[in-house]
Structure 1
Amino acid sequence: MSRRRPRPRPTPVTPAVTASSPCPCGLPASYADCCARYHHGPSPAPTAEALMRSRYSAFAVRDRAHLLRTWHPDTRPEGLELDPATRWLRLEVLATTGGSPFHTEGTVAFRAHYAERGDEGVMEEHSRFVRHAGAWVYLDAAGGAV
């Protein structure tokens, strides 16, 4: 993932995400009806984009277990530290290829906006996803930043 140069701005206070909060991924649904069902439910994300959105939301709510569980075992780190000073503000999905319930591979290009220690920034990535053991998992960043 690459980050653009942060712009100095006050860090907004991000309230805790609850079941009835708007989903951090930006879709017009509550967290419970959107990404939380993939974080805590028995059903895997049906598409690469749904998985990418759930992973973004997992960063926003600091769900380390979901991030590691949905990372391909060949590229998954042994551990994952999430900086409590980072607040994820907004997600933009820029493009997708493949990744439907009928595909075995897919990509999602996105832009994630964040605030960190008083600065705002943007992270862009073109992520690759594959099916592993029947479920979509994050593989890696395809060709670097978008």
Structure 2
Amino acid sequence: MSRRTARPTKPVSTCPCGLSEPYEKCCGRYHSGGAVAPTAEALMRSRYSAFVKGDRAYLLRTWHPRTRPARLDLDPDMTWTGLEVLGATEGSAFHSSGTVTFRASYRGGSLHERSRFERADGVWVYVDGEFLGE
């Protein structure tokens, strides 16, 4: 009987957006530019992951040109702890706009928002959001 040596495995980290896929196969492919988010919800999840990762460039790139700020300052002390998608309307491949309602938790509280998304040049972008309270 032969003995097999166990190969060391690279730990797989799930995506910060809350889906069970590894980051590289989930939001990471959008962040790297290898793919674009196919739905408003996928874009919202990828933007949450970008906040977790501190990816300013992606956040600005996926912000609608008419509402995008000139610069974006992220709080380096902010620790995001989870995302819960509460609902979505439209925002599929068959729509030109959509909304996603979510709760994003951070150390010390949470953000409850309904975000609006539109297609710009065929690609989903974030327009703005309405804060719904804690």
Relative to the length of structure 1, the TM-score reads: 0.81
- The size of the alignment, in residue pairs, is 124
Q: Provide the residue aligned with 2:132 in structure 1.
A: 145
Structure 2, unaligned runs of 5 or more: 1-10
**Other-structure match for 1:124:** 112
Counterpart of 1:33 (choices 18, 25, 29) is 25
Distance 1:70 1:20 in 2: 26
Runs of 4+ in 1 over 4 A off after TM superposition: none
Normalised TM-score (structure 2): 0.88
The match for 1:43 is 35
Map 1:66-145; keep pairs closer than 5 Å: 66-115=58-107, 120-142=108-130, 144-145=131-132
**Identity of counterpart residues, as a percentage?**
59
Q: Report which structure shows greater RCO (CA 8 Å, sep ≥6).
A: 1
Q: Give yes or no for contact 1:111–1:123 (8 Å, CA) kept in 2.
A: yes
Structure 1: segments with no counterpart, 5+ residues? 1-18
Q: Once superposed, what is the RMSD of the aligned Cα atoms?
A: 1.6
Larger Rg: 2
Letter in 2 for 1:100: S
